[in-house]
Structures are given as C-alpha cells and as structure tokens.
Structure 1
Amino acid sequence: MSHKPVDPEPEAPSFGVHHQTEPYDFIDAIDRLPVGVKTARPELSIGILLWPEFPLLALAGLIDSLRHAADFGDNSQKTRCSWFIMSPEPTKPVLSSSGTSIQPDGGFRRPEDFTYIAVIGGLLRSLGTGNPAFRDYLHHAANADVPVIGICTGSFILAEEGMLDYRKAAVHPYHIQDFQKQHRAVYAETGHDFIDEGAVLTCAGGISTISLATELIRRHCGPDRATKAIHQMSVPNKIDDTAISVARAIGFTNVSDPRLRRAVFLIEQSLLKQISTAWLADQVHLSARQLTRLFHDEFGKSPQEFIRCTRLKYSSWLLKNSTESITEIALRTGFSDCAHFIRHFQKEYGCTPGYWRSR
C-alpha cells in the first residue's frame, strides 16, 4: 500500500524576529552604560499643558521620546525622564484636533518641580478658548525661571503673553503668515524643528517635536539616552545644511541685545552664503559702524570675523561627525577653496583639519 507524501507544515512567519538580535544588543549595550550622576528625581521632567483641539502627533512625539529614554529596555518607567499632563480641570478630558480625548494626569504642580513647561497649542480657532488659568500658570513658570516651550500653535500663545517679543520663534509654514500678521515683534521663521532662546523654546510641531525632545534628552540625560530614543523611534540621525543641523553643531549663542541676537540668527541661517556687514546691518536696522561696535563689545570680533569663526566651528563638527572629505567640508562651509579653509582652520584651532579629524 503506497502512501502519498505529506507536505510539510508551513513555518509560521517570524516577523523579523531573527533580524532584531543586533538592534536588541545595541539597545542593551546603551542601557548598560553607567549613569554619570544618580539623582533622586528624573534628570528631565516636563509638565505639559494641552490646549483644546491640540494635535495628537505633537503630544505623542514628545511623550514617546521621553518614554524610550527614561528606562531600561522598553519598560517605560519614569526613571531618567518624566512627564505630567496638567489641567485646572483635571477630571475633564481634553479633546484633540482628531476628536480623540486625553485625560490629564492631574492638577497644576509647582513649576519648580519640572525642568520645562510645554504648552501644545490647538487649532487657531481654539486659541481663545483655553482656560485662562493656563496663561497664568505660564507666567508663574517664567517668574520661577522655569523655561517654557511652545509646541505647534503653542508659539501663538507664548507670543500673545509677550514671552516671545524680540526673540526668534519656530513656526510651521502653514501658520507663518497668520503669526507674522499678529505678532510683529517676534522674529518668526520656518524651516526649523525648534528654536532655543534660553528661557523660551518654540517648536513647529508634528515630527519636529521628536527632534526637540531628543535634543532635550541629550542635554539633560546624555547622548546615550538620546541615541536610544532616536533608534527606538526609527528617527534618521542625518547631517544636512538645515538651520537646525547648523544650530545643533555650533550651539546656542546667548545674546541679550535683540538687534545683535537677530544678526547672529541671520548668520546661522545664511552660513553658506557670502554675507556683507552692510547687508547684515541693514537687516537689523543699524549702520555698519553701529553693528560692528555691538559685535566688538559682545564677542571681541568684527561681524566678518564672527562669521568666519562660526563657519569654522561648524566645519570642526562636520570633521568629527561626517565622512565628507576636507575639500567637501570647505566648500560646504562657504570657503572658496581647500587651502583657504585649511589656513583659517589652523589659525583658529592650532592644527590642520586632518589632524583634528584623526586625533
């Protein structure tokens, strides 16, 4: 009696399990890194205020970045980072722009309990409907020297409260015209994930919120925590010529004079262009002599010397963080040729770009 061969039972799909070994090892290696200084409270804590009809993506990007950085593995405990959604009516859910409601975690806490206070704005039609207690709380936080963050149309709210006057603000392109019409004292710009003005930060919203969150994680918890969040959320860690990439590379230049602050911002925005002192002075409504005096008083440099130093600082970062050739970096940072770049770099840093990269 013959038997018909039985087809083997098909294997269950693995859903990429075998391919995840290396990423798991990578995350485990990050989690095993020693903590620099252990504290009784999380190193980064953000109090969150939700405006009516807020965007869910902005909230999710902020919280999920903190969640991945906060604990070992994927346990989601608030060990290194914490977050708390506050409301003067904590039992009342807040309706998002998609129609999904979020339940606040509780009432207002002391601003000093947080590293930052973030307000996520809603649709423009809803900006006037937020509870006035939110605005009072933002001023309370500012008076307590707790930095405030405006996410999405949260920048409108901070501007309405006078917190952005003569400062830079990151605004979504969809809202830029409305913002500029309503808030002429604010230097509103598009093309940024976020802008840090020290006491006040602004973020365009959407996935830019992830960029903001990972930068705050890097500052307060270390680059290992930021790397973990970026890796877990599949965020590309790219190097490009956007203003935010330049700002991350050269750092934030804290300047008190609003005219000089604007000039520095324009330099950072136009790092690859040839900028004359006369053009820069015209943009900030000063004479070239007045602007030069401000630069000398603040930095001990002329505007052109400051521009060159800023380009060299960016190039030094690229040498360490990119695989581009020295010639490519020279051209990327606005130098006419490689020899010109090397000469100025050696004068500024006391070594050649090649040695800087290899040391």
Structure 2
Amino acid sequence: MNRKRPGTGPLTVTVFVFPGVRLLDVTGPIEVFASANEFGGHYRVRIASADGAEVITSAGTRLSADLRVDDVREPYDVLVVPGGPGWETLIKDDALLGAVRQLNEKARCTASVCTGAFLLAAAGLLDGRRAATHWRQSRQLALRFPSVQVEPDAIFVRDGPMMTSAGVTAGIDLSLALVEDHYGAEVARAVAKDMVVFMQRPGGQSQFSVRSRVPHTRQEMLRRVLDAVTENPEANHTLSAMARRAGVSVRHMTRLFDEEVGTTPARYVEQVRLEAAQVMLETDDDPMSVVARRTGFGSPESLRRAFVRHLGVTPGAFRASFRTTGVGTKGSVSEAVSP
C-alpha cells in the first residue's frame, strides 16, 4: 500500500454489517480509525448494510447503517468485513456474499476480522491467498476452503490487497497496521497508547496464554501447581519442588503432566517464563538482567537461549519489533505479491 500523508484528503473506510455480526468486530476497528483522527490521521468511516437498514448484532445491540451496499459506487480505500458466531450460516447466504463481492470491487484494500475471513473465502476472494482467522476456526477454514493457505498462528496476514485477522480484538491490531501504513508509526503508536493496547502483540495467536491453553484438569492439586507457576514464574519450579508442593512423588507428577497437560513439567515452566518475558519486553524498558531474573531464567544468557530456541530471535530483537506494528515486515504481517 502507498503511504497516505495527512492533509491530502480523507481516507474512506466502509464497514459492512449484517444481522448477527459481532459487535466488537465492528467497533474495534472503528475506534482505531476514530482515534487516529485525533493524532494526525484523516479517516472517514461509514457503516453499510445490504439494504441500509439497522442490524441487530450477536450481542443484541442495534447498529444503524449510514448507507446501503448499492449506494457505494465510487472507489474507496478500505473495506472491513467483520465476523459473527453464525458464520456457518452466513457462508451459505448468496445475497450476503454477493454484497461482499460488490463492496470489494470498489475497495483498494479489503480486511476481515475474525470469522469474517469465512465470508471472504466463501465469496472467492481468498482463493490462492494466505489468510488468518480465529485460532478455534483456523482448521475449519482450511478444510472448507482448501484453496486458501491458512496461517493458524498469525495475528493478521496481508496478501496483496487482502488482509485477514485472528480473533475479535485482532481487528484492532490489523487496523493499527493500516494506520501505520497510511500515516506512519508515530500516529499508530499514539493510537495504541490512547487505547491502551500493544503496538504489536506477542507471539502470534498466543493472544491466549500458556495457562489458558492447558486442557481443564480434574486434579485440583495439579491446577494449584499450574497456577503457582503462572502467578510467580521466578520462583523455584523444579520437578521436585512442584512434586513436594502437590504432595506427590516426582514420578507421579511427571505422569500427571504427561496425561493432563500434554507436556513435561520443565517444558511447561519454560513456556510460562517465556511468555512472561515477552510481556515484560513489550511493555517495559528494564535491562535484560532484570527481565531474566523476574521471569525465572536467572541470567540474560539463559533468556537469550530460550528466545532463540523457541522464537528464533534474540530478546533484544523481540523488544525492538514492538516499536512498530510490523506492517510490511516478516512476522505478524505476511505479504505476498498478487499474481
């Protein structure tokens, strides 16, 4: 995309809404663009529905539309296609998919939020392209639309003029990347600070924490052990220490982790500590020695080895990446040249 500088006229963003749309998929991006206007951006946001009538969201909230799809006749800058929990029904709605195609024809860039990727895919707009959606639905997207190359761990993906994002709040990440692309990193950073969100969030779709990814366990004492690691990653969490804490043998603790968590105790502890270090590096400017100590790695060298082994980057490079949304670079944004 070409960088749009302030003072050259507004950029028009059209958000398509429909019955059952998820409210935050709509309001998240709108808030980003509205906030950008306070820091040097110049966006004109409008909401379009198929017939121009209001719609009722999946939350039961009514949303008014500014115009109907047929009223969009001139080329414009960005189309946002939100998702909804009823995506399985929506992708069978020929009229809805026709409206998406019609709006896409006039848009310079089309972006989906969460399960909105299913609408783009069903409309044939993602054929041969890479795409992202909510991590819970990424497998379904790949199975239903084999011509789409799904990137299950991406927060958002850009492939030519098409952008797709992961679950719900990832629409904010995507919108921040658009703001950076249009008006520069400083404006995007100001918006992120104003909204109290990350400029670029950690670890792919590690938008859900290590602890939350662990299947629910019926073993209360194991839950206490897992929670203790999450709450205080710098404490002593050796296998023997965890076994003592739970009142079981080392062998039994190892077996519980294998059966209930699906990994080893040491690997789980390292994943939690790595996540804690990522958060510190994104939000603080503490020296690496402090980050290493507070997250349980002990030394900067141990921290560095863990980052390189799991993420392929050093802690310093990881921290530097959060000074930008990553638009136009490898990482959370994937780019491809359209055929």
Q: Same fold (TM over 0.5)?
A: yes
Structure 1 residues 241, 111: closer, same or farther in 2, change over 3 A? farther
Local SS of the residue matching 2:108: coil
- Say yes or no: does 1:214 pair with 2:176: yes
Please state how far the C-alpha of 1:333 moved relative to its aligned partner: 5.2
Partner in structure 2 of residue 38 of structure 1: 7
- Say yes or no: does 1:225 pair with 2:187: yes
- Of residues 156, 162, 167, the one that matches 1:205 is 167
- Say yes or no: does 1:115 pair with 2:115: no
- Aligned-partner Cα distance in 2 for 1:213–1:337: 26
CA deviations 1:103-143 (Å, max 9, x no partner) are 111123446442111111222244147571x4334334544
Local SS of the residue matching 2:35: helix
Partner in structure 2 of residue 242 of structure 1: 204
Partner in structure 2 of residue 138 of structure 1: 100
Asked if structure 2 preserves the Cα contact closer than 8 Å seen for 1:192 and 1:244, the reply is: no
Partner in structure 2 of residue 52 of structure 1: 19
Q: How does 1:303-322 map to 2 (within 5 A)?
A: none
Asked if structure 1 preserves the Cα contact closer than 8 Å seen for 2:82 and 2:115, the reply is: yes
Partner in structure 2 of residue 104 of structure 1: 65
Partner in structure 1 of residue 150 of structure 2: 188
- Say yes or no: does 1:164 pair with 2:126: yes
Partner in structure 2 of residue 67 of structure 1: 34
Asked if structure 2 preserves the Cα contact closer than 8 Å seen for 1:218 and 1:225, the reply is: yes
Larger RCO, structures 1/2 (Cα 8 Å, 6+ apart): 2
Structure 1 residues 226, 201: closer, same or farther in 2, change over 3 A? same
Asked if structure 2 preserves the Cα contact closer than 8 Å seen for 1:45 and 1:115, the reply is: yes
Please state how far the C-alpha of 1:154 moved relative to its aligned partner: 1.4
- Aligned-partner Cα distance in 1 for 2:128–2:135: 20
- Aligned-partner Cα distance in 2 for 1:135–1:337: 41
CA deviations 1:275-310 (Å, max 9, x no partner) are xxxxxxxxxxxxxxxxxxxxxxxxxxxxxxxxxxxx
Q: TM-score, normalised by structure 1?
A: 0.53
Please state how far the C-alpha of 1:242 moved relative to its aligned partner: 3.3
Asked if structure 1 preserves the Cα contact closer than 8 Å seen for 2:39 and 2:191, the reply is: no
- Aligned-partner Cα distance in 2 for 1:161–1:243: 25
- Aligned-partner Cα distance in 2 for 1:197–1:229: 24
Structure 1 residues 336, 117: closer, same or farther in 2, change over 3 A? closer
- Aligned-partner Cα distance in 1 for 2:63–2:148: 31
Local SS of the residue matching 2:164: strand
Structure 2's unaligned 5+ residue stretches are 208-280, 290-299, 315-339
2:60 counterpart letter in structure 1 = G
2:66 counterpart letter in structure 1 = D
Q: Aligned-pair RMSD on alpha carbons?
A: 3.6
- Aligned-partner Cα distance in 1 for 2:117–2:312: 39
Local SS of the residue matching 1:64: helix
Please state how far the C-alpha of 1:146 moved relative to its aligned partner: 2.1
Structure 1 residues 97, 208: closer, same or farther in 2, change over 3 A? same
Q: How does 1:247-258 map to 2 (within 5 A)?
A: none
Partner in structure 2 of residue 346 of structure 1: none
CA deviations 1:153-187 (Å, max 9, x no partner) are 21111111221122211111221232222111211
Structure 1 residues 230, 337: closer, same or farther in 2, change over 3 A? closer
May I ask how many residue pairs the two structures share in their alignment?
A: 222
- Say yes or no: does 1:89 pair with 2:51: yes
- Aligned-partner Cα distance in 1 for 2:22–2:203: 28
2:145 counterpart letter in structure 1 = H
1:155 counterpart letter in structure 2 = A
Structure 1 runs (4+) deviating above 6 angstroms are: 325-331, 334-338
1:52 counterpart letter in structure 2 = P
Structure 1 or 2, whichever has the larger Rg, is 1
2:56 counterpart letter in structure 1 = L
- Aligned-partner Cα distance in 1 for 2:77–2:42: 12
Structure 1 residues 116, 36: closer, same or farther in 2, change over 3 A? closer
